[in-house]
Homo-oligomer: A and B are copies of this chain.
């Protein structure tokens, strides 16, 4: 599983400064050179460990190197809402940049390695290196956009559409495109999937079973294999793309 998700981060070497000496290409193309970050630390998390808690002090962003994290917020009466899953190459903690405390908590869903980026260091470098600052802005906006897509999913789609979009999204983030027959590792439980998608775990299970029966996917242990990408896209309410076309469908 780690070998799948490492793809987007494979130029990265973190912690002890081995070659190549960059943290890797994060979303939006930020590349960080470790020689400028002597204080960078790597952290290992076991499944279930928390990276930070809501209301804890905000100090750092975290670049995911391998594994998977969930970020969640709580209702006053204790219900958990997962607002996102974070894969290698993603940056966690963007909801607290410039603020004192975290508003959400982040926990490892699988054994996970992250690289800690103290925000004070990023900010200092951003002052002198406009590229770093621009990349920070892009990542913040990117986070907003991803959440807007999730709002659309939760507000407008039905259970089967939500699951289908979720699988396609995961697939595109793990590999770089949605291939047929590609396996997607899903270390999270049905309940966590349901929390993210605004469904109950039984509904998640039912819907996955139905897709399996229909031959669209194959449900394997802690993962899914996509059998018919085009049918899955249709279930998601998305246009069926002819072949490896990278989702630029916006030309005015």
Contact = CB atoms under 8 A, between A and B. Distances in A.
B98 A134 contact: yes
Interface string A46-73: 0000000011000000000000000001
B94 A152 contact: no
Contacts of A95: 141, 144-145, 148
Interface magnitude class on chain A: 35 or more
A221 interface: no
A135 B97 CA distance: 10
Interface stretch (A77-85, A107-115, A168-176): A77-85
Contacts of A207: none
A127 interface: yes
Interface string A228-241: 00000000011100
A239 to B, nearest CB: 6
B152 A75 contact: yes
A140 B140 contact: yes
Interface of A: 28, 54-55, 73, 75-77, 79, 81, 83, 94-99, 101, 103-104, 126-127, 130, 133-138, 140-145, 147-152, 154-157, 195-198, 237-239, 249-252
